[in-house]
Amino acid sequence: MEDSKPSISLRTDDGGAMEGRFVDLCKNGVGLDESAARQAMVLYRESKHILLATMSSIGSGSPEEIERLWSAFVLYCVTRLSKGRKQEDEKGVTLCQILRASKVNVVDFFKEMPQFSLKVGCILVSLYGSDWEKRLELKELQADIVHLRALSRYYRQAYQEFFMPSKSGGQASAVCGNSGYISDYHRFGWLLFLALRVHAFSQFKDLVTCTNGLVSILAILLLHVPVRFRIFTMQYAPRFAKKSNNGVNLLASLCDMFHTSEDELKRTLEQTNALIIDILRKKPCPASQCKSETLHHIDTDNLTYFEDLLEESSLQSSLAVLEKDYDEAIYLKGVIDERLFVNDEDSLLGSGSLSGNAIHISGTKRRFDEIASPTKTITSPLSPPRTPSSTMNASLVGNSKMTPITPVSTAMTTAKWLRNVISPLPSKPSPDLMHFLSSCERDLSSDVIRRTNIILGAIFPTSSLGERCIPGNLQSAKLMDSIWAEQRKMEALKLYYKVLEAMCRAESQILNGNNLTSLLSNERFHRCMLACSAELVLATHKTVTMMFPAALERAGITAFDLSKVIEGFVRHEETLPRELKRHLNSLEERLLESMSWEKGSSMYNSLIIARPALAAEINRLGLLAEPMPSLDAISMHYNIPNGNLPPLPFQKRETSIDQSGDASPKAVSNEQRSILVERNSFTSPVKERLLPFNSLKSKLPPLQSAFASPTRPNPAGEGETYAETGINVFFSKIIKLAAIRIRSLCEKLQLSPQILERVYCLFQQILSQRTALFFNRHIDQIILCSFYGVAKISQLTLTFKGIIYNYRKQPQCKPQVFRSVFVDWPSTSRNGRTGQEHVDIITFYNELFIPSVKPLLVDLGPTATNEKHTKLPEDRNNVEGQLPGSPRLSPFPSLPDMSPKKVSACHNVYVSPLRSSKMDALLSPSSKSYYACVGESTHAYQSPSKDLTAINNRLNCRKVNGRLNFDMVSDSVVARSFQNGSSGSSPSAATVNLQVKHEQPDS
């Protein structure tokens, strides 16, 4: 691939000039003390050779810009990881100081920091210990910045709908940006919110809690900002609809506008008032006893007022006090200056998005829905609420336009589901669930209650909140943290009981009985259910300090375990909001594409049984998962009191594997002793789809199959073990995910269907016959290499640069995929390298992929394809090297297509498929007939031709100026997009050079 970057002129360090610039940055730019500067210099010198060797894979700017990025990375690591880096009277260094001095923006820093971490990880381990990544808290900080940016925009929109952006209290402190003048009242509100984050939300700064905090700030401003700055009249504002005999119920009205809980808002407002008293030293008084003009037409019962809080005479001093208080807080913590976000246009923030799938809930799919749907101007009853800007514009200003949904409004809507649907449920098993638990071979109810107390207590600790320092002198922070943890724990508990009962009911219908001992006595199953419930609660609140997979780690399970309950969770919880379904879908994609292939995944414990030939490689790389920790071990580690709950009954060693669903190679010989009831007549979930619908006797309950002991033989699996059944199901999911991504990339590269089939066939063969290529890697790395290999064997003029350029357009793309591929060099490596490292994808392709996959590629060549057509049918099925139990190759599957399709050869007429959820949003049955929707009848159904005639007649009756304009895309553009990607006849595949020459992995 041609390198698009400037030539690298710093490979020899310019005679030590790089070190000189770094020393100047430490001393004059950031102002590090002597000890910190010395540690920074050590890390810089240790990593400099990596910078010089891999400069082409860092960033996308000039060598000078890449050098500044590297310097910023080093300084951030040193200031965060160095022990005793500052005394009590010394000031710390914030990330903002480092970035300003290095002339690097926030977006570029976080985009490239993962690459730095991969390259320098071994050095950081030697200098700061193996837990350096956890202490660095990079992912948490990035998520926090994403949330702060969203919150600042949300706050600005709400503020501008309440108050005029007019000058107040002095021009010197005003901040001007592209968004206009930022008043001191606006800045006061943001600083008070930051004080709330520092002192009251010390541990759990989740998005929902912070939004509640912002709403409490708005309440303070509405009570104290002079009336002349309001853009509405309290008495007649339609949005302040909650009223009593004494006037507007301010808190209830705000809760109605912002979809928050009134109890939560009252509690947060109490904390905000306490901050005003403790930090600003203002004297409170009951609002009912005050005569301020700002309180007119407001029901003042149970509200607090501060006489001179926002008077012009005291506003500047209040701002100064809040600034000083925050200065002390960030010097203690030394992360990022959150005052930066008061002006979202600050150049330090940079352009672009920091949001990933796990952080930003409204991603590309959401934006596509808004743009493509004909109902985008119609509000569905199931749609998330409008933002403050849209709702208050409509009521206060009279503008009814709809603003795009924001991450904040989406989070508040999902939290409302937890509050209204889950919270009212009982915090103990229902009578129906208790019946299932007591109907097992022994009563399991006490086991279930004890387990929930321990696992959820570990995920949501209410006593020991970790080693984090809580800045400030307010004691309310620990109390707020404990209340928050207890509330989230109860939500997860109730959700767990609700879904567990639904699953039990479904399983009992399949088995025709209530004895679910084999499932309900399985320890791993319950932990997966508890972790999934907790993860949904954490995802609802967007909890920064407990990001996925934190809940899994505390429950003692892996991502592969969680995958076994995701589908069942979605199926059996009908009220689950769409955003949480998307979250679970994104988690499943993450575990399929990479997490299940990481070291320590329980997938390897099943794979080593299902594919014994891979045992040597799995053991050599040390990939097996550790045994699942016991409940007692978790209880001791997190200091969880057991109370009066009885301990679990003693279990024999022989049955412990069945109970947990775990297995180790040593236990294989003992696992033939089955303790499960054979009358259940288990069968493979893959073959289940082929059985008659009424053949319940041979049907396998999917949950019991997924959590059965891996080494036990599957009675209906033709001799295969449950491990083989599980691996086949897992591999089939990977193949389907790969098919979606292969097709998408083929469309972007404009390749022919023949090339699509070859790439898909090659991927299947690698998964079944060269499975070790996936170990510790991302499936997209195999897909990208498969594209290039097929392009070479098919004699296409396709470069790695072109493949990666188009791969960047895919929503799941991360630069690490093609910049950092894990390799464990074999002793026979021709390049002389040894040990483990991360290399670019072209090095991986040349050194490991091609030597392993070349025989498979040759079989895909034109000559080999012609030879295959002459083979007998039985010969075609015997693929050389096919592992026993591997699924046979299948043609490219029929996937749902959401792209517009041309339906006329002579006109530019396209039809876009429309999901049922969008159809439901249309206002009336008659309005549905205005749209041509694939798979949907537009009239009282008669026939396809009559339906299309009805569409044409209705459209012809509604022409604009007598003409319908369908000229959206020219015919020439469409024709080019369907051109064949292959060129003529190809020479014999055996003569094609499959190596990559003179290319760089990055575009």
3-state SS, 640-675, equals: CCCCCCCCCCCCCHHHHHHHHCCCCHHHHHHCCCCC
* Residue 317 tokens, joined: 């001093």
Q: Is the pLDDT of residue 968 over 50?
A: no
Q: Residue 584 has which token pair? A: 């679970």
Whether the predicted pLDDT of 471 surpasses 90: no
Is the confidence at residue 645, as pLDDT, over 60? no
State how far the Cα of 625 lies from the Cα of 643, in Å rounded to an integer: 31
Among the listed residues 543, 466, 481, 486, the one whose alpha carbon sits nearest the alpha carbon of residue 199:
481
Beta strands in 826-954 (DSSP E): 835-839, 901-902, 910-911
> Would you give the distance in Å from CA 306 to the centre of its chain?
42
Position 834 confidence tier, pLDDT thresholds 50, 70, 90 = confident
Q: What is the pLDDT of residues 660-695, one digit of tens each?
A: 555 544 343 333 333 222 223 233 333 333 333 233
Burial (CB < 10 A; 0-12, 13-18, 19+), residue 145, is buried
pLDDT band of residue 34 (cuts 50, 70, 90) is: confident
Under DSSP, the state recorded for 908 is -
b vs e for 246-277, b when ≥16 Cβ sit within 10 Å of the residue's Cβ?
ebbbbbbbbbbbbbbbeebbeebbebbbbbbe
Answer yes or no: is pLDDT of 257 > 70.
yes
Classify residue 965 as left (phi > 0), alpha (psi -120 to 50) or beta: beta
H or E, element range at 532: helix 523-541
Provide the residue type at 270 as one letter: E
841 vs 366, higher pLDDT: 841
Residue 951 pLDDT exceeds 90: no
pLDDT band at 908 (very low <50, low <70, confident <90, very high): low
Confidence grade of residue 334 (pLDDT, cut at 50, 70, 90): low
Phi, psi of 314 (to 5 degrees): -115, -5
Tokens of 410: 């989406």
Residue 115 binned pLDDT confidence (cut-offs 50, 70, 90): confident
> Cis peptide before 612, with omega less than 30 degrees from 0?
no
Q: What is the mean pLDDT of the chain?
A: 76
Q: What SS3 string covers 144-171?
A: HHHHHHHHHHHHHHHHHHHECCCCCCCC
Name the token pair of 454.
């321990």
**pLDDT band at residue 944 under the 50/70/90 scheme:** low
| Cβ neighbours, 10 Å, residue 215 | 25
Q: What DSSP state is assigned to residue 515?
A: -
pTM of the prediction?
Answer: 0.77
pLDDT > 90? residue 429: yes
| Burial readout 928-938 (b: 16 or more C-beta within 10 A, e: otherwise) | bbebbbeebeb
Residue 409 near residue 386 (C-beta atoms within 8 A)? yes
Q: How far is CA 773 from CA 27, 780, 850, 858, 859, in A?
A: 47, 12, 11, 18, 19
pLDDT-based confidence at 753, cuts 50/70/90?
very high
385's tokens: 């609420």
Would you say 801 and 781 are in contact if contact means Cβ atoms under 8 Å apart?
A: no
Residue 481 has pLDDT above 90, yes or no: no
Q: What's the CA gap between 402 and 377, in Å, rounded?
A: 7
Closest by alpha carbon to 5, among 69, 55, 47?
55
- Over residues 133-160, the mean pLDDT reads 89
Spatial separation of the C-alpha atoms in residues 991 and 985, rounded to whole Å: 14
Q: Cα(3)–Cα(327) distance, rounded to whole angstroms?
A: 45
For residues 256 and 245, what is the distance between their CA atoms, to the nearest angstrom? 19
Q: At what angle do helices 138-162 and 106-128 cross, to 10 degrees?
A: 150
pLDDT level of residue 524 (50, 70, 90 thresholds): very high
Predicted local confidence at residue 900, as pLDDT: 54
Higher-confidence position of 67 and 831 = 67
Q: Angle, to 10 degrees, between the axis of helix 63-81 and the axis of helix 34-53?
A: 140
Select the more confidently predicted residue: 556 or 970.
556
Measured between alpha carbons, how far is 778 from 785 in angstroms, rounded to an integer? Answer: 12
**Residue 831 is which amino acid?**
N
Q: What is the pLDDT of residues 859-879, one digit of tens each?
A: 887 655 555 444 444 444 443
At residue 858, the pLDDT reads 87
Encode burial over 661-685: b for 16+ CB neighbours within 10 A, e otherwise: bbbeeebbeebeeeebeeebebbbb
Mean pLDDT within 922-937: 40
Residue 19 has pLDDT above 50, yes or no: yes
3 state DSSP class of 824: strand
Residue percentage of the chain with pLDDT more than 90: 39
As a whole number of angstroms, the distance between CA 420 and CA 415 comes to 9
Higher pLDDT, 819 or 87: 819
Q: Is 987 exposed, middle or buried (0-12, 13-18, 19+ CB in 10 A)?
A: exposed
Residue 83 is predicted with a pLDDT of: 63
How many CB atoms within 10 Å of residue 543?
26
pLDDT in tens, 694-740: 333 334 556 788 888 888 887 766 678 888 989 999 999 999 999 99
For residue 111, what are the CA distances in angstroms to 10, 58, 138, 354? 23, 10, 11, 7
Of the chain, the percentage scoring pLDDT greater than 70 comes to: 68
Q: Return the higher-pLDDT residue of 358 and 799.
A: 799
What SS3 string covers 204-247? CCCHHHHHHHHHHHHHHHHHHCCHHHECCCCCCCCCCCCEECCE
What's the DSSP call for residue 296?
Answer: T
pLDDT, residue 608, reads: 93
CB count within 10 Å of CB 978 equals 10
Instruction: Provide the pLDDT for residue 15.
Output: 53
- Give pLDDT, residue 391: 42
* Cα separation values, 623 from 42, 117, 599, 604, 671, Å: 33, 21, 4, 7, 22
Which pLDDT band, with edges at 50, 70 and 90, does 825 fall under?
A: confident
pLDDT in tens, 558-580: 999 999 999 999 999 999 999 99
